[in-house]
Amino acid sequence: MDSDVDGPVKGKDMQKLTVIENGAVAVKDGKVIAAGKEEELKDIEAVEKIDCEGKLVTPGLVEPHTHLVFGGSREHEMALKQQGASYLEILEQGGGILSTVRATRETSYEDLVEKAKFHLERMMSYGVTTMEAKSGYGLDVDTEMKQLKVVQQLQKESKMDIVSTFLGAHAIPEERKGEPEKFLDEMAAMFPEIKEKGLAEFVDIFCETGVFSVEQSRDFLKKAKEAGFRVKIHADEIDPLGGAELAADLGAISGDHLVGASDEGIRRMAEEGVIADLLPGTSFYLGKKSHARARDMIKAGGAVALSTDFNPGSSVTENLQMIMSLAALNLKMTPEEIWHAVTVNSAHAIGRGETAGKIAPGRKADLVIWDAPNYLYIPYHYGVNHVNTVYKAGEKLYERSGIRG
């Protein structure tokens, strides 16, 4: 199962999915050397053959939006949400992201590494082989650098391919309340060192009511581009501020969330080739009745990706398969669209479109074998892990252990 399209898969092409019945994949030295009908590959001599009869084989999933590195947890906020407190109301009370900031500042580098490894390995068990990881729970120079260095260590130690994003502009810290421009200047002053040490490829900002305005976000991301970074935007998650339009203006690689994106923003993102990275787990977990308008984005000719938004406050899950189900149920995406959104389009949303998200000769053998009869089954049978085996560059990283009597 794969896509024949070069680049992100857009608009009506998201309905076209290449499915090979009785297929086979040949791997050598960690790379795919051939893929097609089993009979077409029968003359290739194999040291090992893996029987996948009755199973589904796909590219490794790609996760393009996570907040992987953080201290503490926020399970106590569940009761506040049940009482009707909104995300912004919890934030105003010093909870939400600010409580995670305090915990992350207090957590040692070593403990952050171990905690992130736990979540990383769980994501891998759900079929993810390439992912993005953001900072953003430091909101000061020292802790943001600590988070970025944790990601850098994970990049070196993990089999997973990890793409780093600097999200210092995730919220306004308590000590800079009422001084957003001064805080953004402090974060922008970090760009040269981050670039020099290779700590991030992307810069992101939370453009939202009560956080950073469109103009503040524009100025910050322009500085990031001038410093040599590609940019992403947390855009229009709650209110239609114009974050989607800003993503188009700046040529961002992706605009993320987009629940409140306007018709104009959706149209312009599609025209400018900005990938719409949708996070339905966040709307679900926060109990929202409105969801990102995936159908309108696809109708406009845009490319849609899907992410967990894994974080300790608004989407506490590492299960990208569950997000696939939510995309079907709440975003009304078809199975074909969903598979493009968690493979090739997500790869392009983090600058890995040439190396991840597809099964093709010359690419890394990032493969998932699923305990599923077909590609329709994964989003249909929700809330469980359908993975049988995960391979990264031809190396087995995870295998389901069966129940033994």
Q: How far apart are CA 392 and CA 405, in angstroms?
A: 31
What pLDDT, on the 0 to 100 scale, is given for residue 393? 97
CA distances to 35, 72, 122, 132, 237 from 206, rounded to whole Å, are: 41, 21, 26, 16, 9
What pLDDT, on the 0 to 100 scale, is given for residue 287? 87
The model's pLDDT over 28-72, given as tens digits with 9 standing for 90+, comes to 999 999 999 999 998 898 889 999 999 999 999 999 999 999 999
pTM of the prediction? 0.95
Phi and psi of 204, rounded to 5°?
Answer: -130, 160
Give the angle subtended at the CA of 401 by the CAs of 396 and 405, to the nearest 5°: 155
What pLDDT, on the 0 to 100 scale, is given for residue 234? 98
What pLDDT, on the 0 to 100 scale, is given for residue 4? 63
What pLDDT, on the 0 to 100 scale, is given for residue 36? 95
The model's pLDDT over 117-163, given as tens digits with 9 standing for 90+, comes to 999 999 999 999 999 999 999 999 999 999 999 999 999 999 999 99
SS3 242: coil
What pLDDT, on the 0 to 100 scale, is given for residue 210? 87
> Which ranges of the chain have pLDDT less than 70?
1-5, 87, 94, 402-405
What pLDDT, on the 0 to 100 scale, is given for residue 404? 45
What pLDDT, on the 0 to 100 scale, is given for residue 402? 63
Order of strands, edge to edge, in the sheet holding 304-306?
61-63, 128-134, 161-169, 202-207, 230-235, 254-257, 275-278, 304-306
What pLDDT, on the 0 to 100 scale, is given for residue 3? 63
The model's pLDDT over 282-305, given as tens digits with 9 standing for 90+, comes to 999 988 999 999 999 999 999 999
